[in-house]
Amino acid sequence: MNILVIGGGGREHALCYALARSARRPTLFCAPGNPGTAALAENVSIAATDINGLLAFAREHAIDLTIVGPEAPLVAGLVDRFEAAGLAVVGPTAAAAQLEGSKQFAKAFMEQHGIPTAASRTFEAADFDEAVAYVEGGTFPVVLKADGLAAGKGVHICDNADSARASLREMLLDDAYGEAGATVVVEEFMPGEEASVFALTDGTDYVLLAPAQDHKRIGEGDTGPNTGGMGAYAPAPVVTPGVLAAVEAQIVRPTLDGMASEGTPYRGILYVGLMIDAAGNPRVVEYNCRFGDPEAQVVLPLLASDAVDLFEAIAHRRLGEVEVAVADEAAACVVLASAGYPASSTKGVPIHGLDAVPDDVVVFHAGTAEQGGDTVTAGGRVLAVTGFGPDLQAALDRAYAGVDAISFDGMQLRRDIGQKGLKRVAG
């Protein structure tokens, strides 16, 4: 069986890792991949957004199943093109990927289907004065979101009217996010603790992986600017069985039913970003149409069933026929980032100690390159070091044991991954 994984970050390395463990022994290709995926798959030098190139490759190499990592090719219609060509693929169509591709779409959808989320209103450049008046008449903090894909940067949380006015100006009038920010969603601030739930669905049936928690800020104690994610762990204790039941009944099921009833059934990975308030009520912060990165690096290794069977069943719309189990264990992942991240990043810095990492720790490559036989940095987030154990503390101990073997100039990491989870376990 030939499987093509699209993308080249830590998430795609984790996808290859899960697929490579399958009893079906698939032949893996990864486009474009990275030095980590190269150990498990044949890397193919085609960009994740080059839909024509990917389609031609899939045909020429008799690819039986394609799994899409990042959002951009999904929003651009890769799945529509592959399915029209008769190829099996895991991911939502362009229409369904609008749940991530347009925040305005997602908010209108949630309102229409009674799915709990922050109250919001949408404004365009022509409504600038109205937007300012609306924000000034509301409460603070207020959340402003560029409508379209902005690589995780299009969200401003403003504490007062001055900063909100400045942000509205940047987004609506000064085109800070280009077309993506031409429409802005103004949203109520939701207090609480964040977590992510991943539903794998064939459009009708779904299965859930372990609920996870990301660490978006660069600094310990959730300080400093937002990043793509500095670490993750699963399962996240904030998602108690009661919270999870509410997430399924109030969010996951109505989302899938709503998308189906609108004629755009959602297939693939539905990432539900949640805010859980003190009373345990979940609300949607955002939908993403793909796995999180670095959440994939913890939730995929905890999959106890065969990943090939699972993804194949999603693509062929027969998820109801497979048994899916999640290991009763914990996983924790610590991201090692390069100097300057998230504002900038350094490239070509030699990475030391990869051979000295304990055998039970998995090092996923995110932004690395091979240079004259050495592994060097090649991006902001460089490595995602994942440990496992019977509980969160044990998993964190293993992850940090792996981290302590590795070094490179300017290496940044957070030492407090999982602390919120540990506090909850301690009660």
Residues of the shown chain interacting with ligand GLY in the complex, contacts defined by CB under 6 A: 214, 228-229, 288, 292-293, 295
Indicate which single residue of 194, 202, 306, 329 sits in contact with ligand AMP (rule: CB under 6 A).
Answer: 194
In terms of CB distance, is 211 or 292 closer to ligand GLY?
292
- Report yes or no: 216 and 273 within 8 Å, Cβ to Cβ: no
CA dihedral 43, 47, 52, 56 (to 10 degrees): -10
Does residue number 153 form part of the binding site for ligand AMP (CB under 6 A)? no
Does residue number 216 form part of the binding site for ligand AMP (CB under 6 A)? yes
- Report yes or no: 152 and 217 within 8 Å, Cβ to Cβ: no
With tokens 């389609």, the residue in question is: 55
Residue 312 contact, options ligand AMP, ligand GLY, none, Cβ 5-8 Å cut-off depending on partner type: none
In terms of CB distance, is 194 or 329 closer to ligand AMP?
194
CA dihedral 120, 92, 214, 102 (to 10 degrees): -30
Indicate which single residue of 6, 55, 90, 155 sits in contact with ligand AMP (rule: CB under 6 A).
Answer: 155
Residue 143 contact, options ligand GLY, ligand AMP, none, Cβ 5-8 Å cut-off depending on partner type: ligand AMP
Does residue number 118 form part of the binding site for ligand AMP (CB under 6 A)? yes
DSSP secondary structure string for all residues of 200-268: EESSS-EEE---BEE--EEETTTEEEE-S-SEEEES-TTS-HHHHHHHIIIIIHHHHHHHHHTT----E
**Cα 163 to Cα 174: distance, rounded to the nearest angstrom:** 15
Q: In angstroms, give the least distance from the CB of 318 to ligand GLY.
A: 28
Residue 293 contact, options ligand GLY, ligand AMP, none, Cβ 5-8 Å cut-off depending on partner type: ligand GLY
Indicate which single residue of 143, 171, 256, 403 sits in contact with ligand AMP (rule: CB under 6 A).
Answer: 143
Largest distance between two CA atoms of the chain: 60
Task: Using DSSP, state whether 374 is helix, strand or coil.
Answer: strand
Q: In angstroms, give the least distance from the CB of 266 to ligand AMP.
A: 18
**Cα 150 to Cα 170: distance, rounded to the nearest angstrom:** 14
Site string for ligand AMP, 254-283 (x = CB under 6 A): -------------------x-x--------
Residue 35 contact, options ligand AMP, ligand GLY, none, Cβ 5-8 Å cut-off depending on partner type: none
In terms of CB distance, is 95 or 335 closer to ligand GLY?
335
Strand bridging mode 347-350 / 374-378: antiparallel
Residue 194 contact, options ligand AMP, ligand GLY, none, Cβ 5-8 Å cut-off depending on partner type: ligand AMP
Task: Using DSSP, state whether 289 is helix, strand or coil.
Answer: coil
Say how many C-beta atoms besides its own lie within 10 A of residue 240's C-beta.
14
Q: In angstroms, give the least distance from the CB of 45 to ligand GLY.
A: 24
The values of phi and psi at residue 199, to 5°, are -105, 130
**Cα 304 to Cα 76: distance, rounded to the nearest angstrom:** 32
Q: What is the footprint of ligand AMP within residues 21-60 (CB under 6 A)?
A: none
**Cα 91 to Cα 227: distance, rounded to the nearest angstrom:** 24
Residue 292 contact, options ligand GLY, ligand AMP, none, Cβ 5-8 Å cut-off depending on partner type: ligand GLY
Instruction: Tell me which DSSP letter residue 125 carries.
Output: G
Does residue number 293 form part of the binding site for ligand AMP (CB under 6 A)? no
Instruction: Please report, as ranges, the residues that interact with ligand AMP according to CB under 6 A.
Output: 118, 143, 145, 155, 187, 189-190, 194, 216, 273, 275, 285-286
